[in-house]
Amino acid sequence: MSDRVHTVGIVDDHELILDSLTGWLGAHAPELEVVAHTTSWVDMARHPAFPPDIVLMDLQLKEPVSVEARIRICRSVGSTVVVLSALDNPENVRRVLAAGAEAFVSKSQSADELLTAVRRVLGVRPDPGAVAWDEVGRPARTPASSIRFSEHEEETLRLYASGHSPVEVAMILGTNIQIVKTALERVREQYASEGRQAERKQDLMLRAAEDGYLA
């Protein structure tokens, strides 16, 4: 676990988001230093501070450069990538993780939740007494968190996060609806214990995609 200051680049075509996020990280994350914040990918790639340790990038920019290409460029020069977007559907999550991003964070989530994801990706302690984070993996590897679901909980999560209703999950698994609801409740509780939002179905789909259950 490194205690050094990690450099951060942020690229988003909304200046208000850039300014707000840069200021918030400066006030709440002394272990991070925003060294570049730009409204275009070209400006980020040409910035003298590029490549930083981690790049927070919007999924959709006003440039004809795909997010996959941007992720590959960052990774080729040693930058880790976290993708931000309001378009937080499972397809987009799978897309960016498959391209090599370490995490996807919905813009509907709080700045605290983004910071938690960044710290987990970088392996950074939020304070000297904090418990060490596990490394974040990509789809097809072991799940990023230390959570270990039962076989039934994992299969329930996989089916539910793939778009099936609790009733459909119960029918597929040959069980009753209450058992499915109980399993989903336990899954949500375990994610909550790690500070990872999972109350809404949309949130749970994101967690499942991040941890490789939808890969």
* Domain harbouring 163, CATH code: 1.10.10.10
By residue range, what is the domain housing residue 182? 151-210
Domain presence at residue 215: no
18 and 107 assigned to the same domain: yes
Domain presence at residue 206: yes
Q: pTM for the full model?
A: 0.64
112 and 45 assigned to the same domain: yes
CA atoms in the 13 A half-sphere facing the CB of 94:
11
Q: How many CB atoms lie within 10 A of CB 147?
A: 17
State the pLDDT at residue 3: 65
Our count of domains for the chain comes to 2
Domain presence at residue 131: no
Domain presence at residue 108: yes
Cis peptide before 52 (omega within 30 of 0): no
State the pLDDT at residue 90: 80
Q: Exposed/middle/buried for 187, CB within 10 Å: 0-12, 13-18, 19+?
A: buried
99 and 15 assigned to the same domain: yes
159 and 201 assigned to the same domain: yes
User: Do residues 212 and 137 touch, judged by C-beta distance below 8 A?
Assistant: yes
Domain presence at residue 87: yes
Residue of 157, 85, 145 whose CA lies nearest to 116: 145
CA geometry: angle at 105 spanning 213 and 169, to 5°? 30
Q: Which of 104, 122, 140 is where one domain is finished? A: 122
Rounded distance between C-alpha atoms, residue 212 and residue 210, angstroms:
6
Q: Which of 122, 140, 173 is where one domain is finished? A: 122
Position 9, amino acid = G
Please give the backbone phi and psi of residue 204, each rounded to the nearest 5 degrees, phi first.
-65, -35
State the pLDDT at residue 133: 34
State the pLDDT at residue 60: 93
86 and 184 assigned to the same domain: no
* Domain harbouring 71, CATH code: 3.40.50.2300
178 and 93 assigned to the same domain: no
User: Do residues 140 and 212 touch, judged by C-beta distance below 8 A?
Assistant: yes
pLDDT-flagged residues of the chain (< 50): 1, 127-144
Longest dimension (CA), the chain: 59
37 and 84 assigned to the same domain: yes
35 and 105 assigned to the same domain: yes
State the pLDDT at residue 215: 54
The H or E element that residue 56 is part of is strand 54-58
33 and 75 assigned to the same domain: yes
Domain presence at residue 143: no
Domain presence at residue 185: yes
Domain presence at residue 132: no
State the pLDDT at residue 42: 94
State the pLDDT at residue 61: 93
70 and 158 assigned to the same domain: no
State the pLDDT at residue 89: 82
User: Do residues 48 and 70 touch, judged by C-beta distance below 8 A?
Assistant: no
107 and 61 assigned to the same domain: yes
